[in-house]
Amino acid sequence: MIAQIALLAVIAATELKVSQYAGPTECEETDKVKIGDQLGMHYTGTIDESSETGTPGKKFDSSRDRGQPFSTKIGVGQVIKGWDEGLIGMCKGAKATLVIPPDMGYGARGAGGDIPGGATLNFDVEVMSVAEGPPEENLFVELDTDKDARLTKEEVLAFFKKQGRNELPPELWASEDKDGNGFIEWEEFGGPKGKAKPDYKEEL
């Protein structure tokens, strides 16, 4: 029985847990957090009681202490995965606790002196504002100078030369040109590329 309880505790610590304790649970779509929204929030981050590393309960960061809400575009990889997934669907004014396992937080490497590798994190959050996020940069269109909706090595290299590099980073082409046809298609491109494949006919 004790072993089963311990096993359940380990399983629980490896999953994202979101527990709303105050604020609205139903709201207009404009007040609901969606992928790509610009989110203003307060948070207090501590090491969770279930964490296998670090000092349980120790606070490592808080926007409330600074008196200034934190602003970020949500769901697009600008913050840890636990926030990107755990905050989606919340309403403006919602208050919740997020328990975030290491693989959705700072992983095996940790962050700074207060968040060791393998730490399970606890964030007390409050959604202060929800607004439509700024449009995503479209690097694919910038690189695709001949407007054929696929990238050649020459086009990608031209971009890196503007950054002061005379050759492509090692392994870049192999990782991006997944089908090995000598081009990076829009579907394969791993950088910012907008939500739909460019239709250059609209520009003519």
Say how many Å lie between the first and final Cα of the chain, rounded.
Answer: 70
Give the DSSP H or E segment for 7.
helix 2-13
In what helix (H) or strand (E) does residue 71 lie, and over which residues does it extend?
strand 70-73
Pick the closest to residue 143 from 99, 95, 185, 195 (CA basis). 185
DSSP code, position 97: E
Q: What share of the chain is helix, strand, coil (3-state, %, to 5)?
A: 25, 25, 50
CA 114 from chain centre, in angstroms, equals 21
What whole-number distance in Å separates Cα of residue 202 and Cα of residue 6?
60
Which residues carry out catalysis? 43, 60-61, 80, 106, 123
Q: How far apart are CA 79 and CA 73, in angstroms?
A: 8
136 near 77, Cβ under 8 Å? Answer: no
